[in-house]
Structure 1
């Protein structure tokens, strides 16, 4: 999760402090449509598996907690 948090801070330089695992990343505009595919690439890299966009919903990317549960729970 540290790499994801670092990526979010890089994309949002005005962001101070940690990101709560329940914070809505989309509503808070921490991930926008321009960065979404890059975010998916990062998740694929971290999880070691591809993400089939036909099998996910936007809610799978909404919070750090959900991202952890959906994509990284089996990643080392």
Structure 2
């Protein structure tokens, strides 16, 4: 999860401390609408798979844990 949390810290330079695995990234404004497609690109680079935005919901990106479960867990 280091590349994801590093990206989140890069996009939120005023953020102090670690990002909780269940912290709401959307409501907490750690991912905003301007950065969302870049975040999807990051996930695609990490997984080597394309993400069809018609097959996902916003909740798939809501927390670091959910991102891990949905995109980074083999067989998910």
| TM-score, normalization by structure 1 | 0.95
User: Equivalent residue for 1:7?
Assistant: 7
What does residue range 42-57 of structure 1 map to in structure 2 within 5 Å? 42-57=42-57
Q: Which runs of at least 4 in structure 1 moved beyond 4 Å after TM superposition?
A: none
Asked if 1:62 is matched to 2:62, the reply is yes
User: Equivalent residue for 1:73?
Assistant: 73
Number of aligned pairs?
74
SS of 1:8 mapped into structure 2: helix
Unaligned runs of 5+ in 2: none
Question: How much has 1:17 moved relative to structure 2?
Answer: 1.0
User: Equivalent residue for 1:35?
Assistant: 35
Aligned-pair Cα RMSD in Å = 0.5
User: Equivalent residue for 1:19?
Assistant: 19
